[in-house]
Amino acid sequence: MTRNHVRSAALAAMLAALALAPAIARADYKCASPSGSVDIRACAMAAAGPDTLRRFVERTRGIYTLYYWDYIRREA
């Protein structure tokens, strides 16, 4: 492999990492500031209890693809 190919591959890897950074940073606790109607509903379910939230996440899995731990603290 020539030196230019190695540089191009390294640059592509860095750009891919930078492109994924916002998605990784967004995986915070969403009930601190819910941004949409689905987040508001999920936070209401989390306030009702972890079992209620789990049922909501499982029931709407095909529609919203929610992640349980985005809406409830791990200590709960």
Q: What is the pLDDT of residues 29-68, one digit of tens each?
A: 788 888 889 999 999 999 999 999 999 999 999 999 999 9
CA dist 75 and 59 (Å) reads 23
Backbone angles phi, psi at 20, to 5 degrees: -85, -15
pTM: 0.59
Contact 34, 43 (CB under 8 A): yes
Q: Where are the domains positioned within the chain?
A: 3-70
